A and B are shown apart, each in its own frame.
Chain A
């Protein structure tokens, strides 16, 4: 599981859901949750939260151009690649934090991913969970 810590900076809610923006060292991550500030006490601007998302939900892009609906896309450098069978595990250095992405070995070959490459990693807002300290 990938984990990043940050601070809630903005909350936009509909009747039952909220889009929560979280500041992680200056980058803004978004997460959609099925809660609102009325139903969940942790949904407060200024609250420290941990973002969690599965390795298999992290996509990798190289020289991306055009438009894409994904809001969470950030630059990183590849630390290492381990390909085995049909999958490849890519370790990324993102702001000195390790982000792990598991993609297909085919994609790793197609994108010609190598150690030291500058890439973008992407995760959909509805794949990001928020974890808070109890209370």
Chain B
């Protein structure tokens, strides 16, 4: 049972994640992605179920097995970083170090993640991107069997997000650690994951490679978004419809026939052939 904005809902899933693979839980907020991650980590207990990792049972409600968080060997990166404010960058990382005699592992990661000059700073002194790098390193030095990333980049601006995606990909390719990402950013899913599991209302409704899961839809239009009509202005033969898509307002012209069943507030699919849109380099203006 999980609590969502729609009230309580059952999370009911049966899934396997490939060892050494990069998988993503994708879905709207409230779909159960984070809850699922927390259950794997041992931060939330399911009502019933079974979790096995690499031959070791982490949870079995029938046999009353429930491995505590500390013994589960997961690296968890939260959206809000969750660094200890009273510790320096290095101390934050050392706290999670699996073998305290292996300080050189910390040095290696600090250098690889461009954090070398910041090791003695406290978290409040460093930027959001740097904090998330520290959180990543902290998760990695515990030598986890699984790396769990709960929308780790969603608080960062676009440029930083793209850069950190590259770094996550590099880390994954270097370590081949089994990674589960929670994301609702399609470009992130395509860039990072080999497999995506789509969650809706506590259930997995689709899974596969990103291009399989997201391409095989029934309209051939590739330039396709779901939005909400916020305004309709009539202008002679055509009307101009303002549609909010994410945080962007777009305008689409439509004939009376197209508008027949549509009114302000309706959800609509805005689609165009992939051949029409113009692409220009965005210079931030």
Contacts and interface: CB of A to CB of B under 8 A. Distances in A.
Interface string B207-239: 000011001101111100000000000011110
Given A131-B218, A133-B218, A85 B273 contact: no
B65 to A, nearest CB: 42
Contact of B257 (A39, A88, A100, A133): A100
Contacts of B219: 129-131
A89 B222 contact: no
A95 interface: no
B238 A102 contact: yes
Interface of A: 1, 31-35, 39-42, 55-56, 82, 84-89, 100, 102, 126-134
Nearest to A20: B220
Identify which of B237, B253, B274 gathers the most chain A CB atoms within 10 Å of its CB: B237
Contacts of B160: none
Contacts of A133: 218
A33 B237 contact: no
A34 B218 contact: no
Contacts of A129: 219-221, 271, 273
B275 A32 contact: yes
Given A129-B221, A133-B218, A34 B274 contact: yes
Given A32-B275, A126-B275, A129-B271, A85 B257 contact: no
Q: Which 8 A-B pairs have the closest CB atoms?
A: A126-B275, A84-B236, A85-B236, A130-B220, A33-B220, A87-B237, A89-B237, A34-B222
Interface string B243-269: 000000000010101100000000000
A41 B216 contact: yes
Interface residues of B, number: 22
Contacts of A102: 237-238, 255
Given A88-B237, A102-B237, A102-B255, 8 more contacts: A34-B274, A39-B216, A40-B215, A85-B235, A87-B238, A126-B276, A127-B273, A131-B220
A56 B253 contact: yes
B226 to A, nearest CB: 16
A42 B218 CA distance: 8
B237 A39 contact: no
Contacts of A56: 238, 253
Interface in B60-96: none
Contacts of A88: 237
Contacts of A100: 255, 257
Nearest to A85: B236
Contacts of A40: 215-216, 220
Contacts of A31: 220
Nearest to A49: B220
Contacts of B273: 32, 126-129
Nearest to A133: B218
A85 B237 contact: yes
22 contacts: A34-B222, A34-B274, A39-B212, A40-B220, A82-B237, A84-B236, A84-B237, A85-B235, A85-B236, A89-B237, A102-B238, A127-B273, A127-B276, A129-B221, A129-B271, A129-B273, A130-B219, A130-B220, A131-B218, A132-B218, A133-B218, A134-B218
